[in-house]
Amino acid sequence: MAIDRKFLGFALPPFKVTATPERIARFADAIGERNPLYREGIAPPTFLKVLEGEDNSSRRILDALGVPLPRVLHAEQQFDYLAPVRAGDELLVERRVTDLYDKKGGEMEFIVIETSFTGPSGMLVARSRQIVLVRNAPRSQ
């Protein structure tokens, strides 16, 4: 399969999500974080992935692009932190497909998804950039 390049720029409707203390604590448990700072007050650095993944948003992007889940692997992940995310913060999350490219004659396709996290005052809190690898069958000769 080849992902239609018309999906370059595809964006989900922006959504709001709250970093509740319960979700932060549950996440800290799952990653073995025992520092009380990250169990009670501040979200661990990779918790942004939980916030952007709210409501299966990554899956919804893949579905929209027509990508079958068994072919997908997470290839790269980047976070830029402008301010810490604290328990109780409500953030506006905006996700967009910013690049589509392939390697090995289409055997490997890559989807770049960029996400911004904005606080209630309109201040940008963080950015995330994810690269998804789609493994296609080798093209027959």
Partner 1 sequence: MAIDLLNVAVGAVLAARDCPARVKDELAQYAHASGDMNPLHLDEAFARKAGFDNLVVHGMLNMALLGRLLTDHFETDTIRGFSTRFEGVLQVGEPTRVSMTLAGRTGEHAEIGLEMLTHEGRRIVSGHAKVRLRIS
Could you tell me the smallest distance in angstroms from the CB atom of residue 43 to partner 1?
Answer: 9
Beta bridge partners of 17: 91
Could you tell me the smallest distance in angstroms from the CB atom of residue 37 to partner 1?
Answer: 7
Place of tokens 């996440």: 27
Is 49 among the residues that bind partner 1 (CB under 8 A)? Answer: yes
Token pair, residue 2, equals 């080849």
Among the residue ranges 80-88, 96-104, 106-114, 116-124, the one whose residues contact partner 1 (CB under 8 A): 80-88
Judged by CB under 8 A, the residue of 20, 78, 99, 107 near partner 1 is 78
Q: Which amino acid does the sequence have at 112?
A: V
CA distance 21 to 16: 16
CA distance 44 to 27: 8
Q: Are 127 and 116 in contact (CB under 8 A)?
A: yes
Question: Can you give the binding site for partner 1, defined by CB under 8 A?
Answer: 23, 26-27, 29-33, 35, 37-38, 42, 44-46, 49-50, 53-54, 56, 58-59, 69-81, 83-84, 129, 135
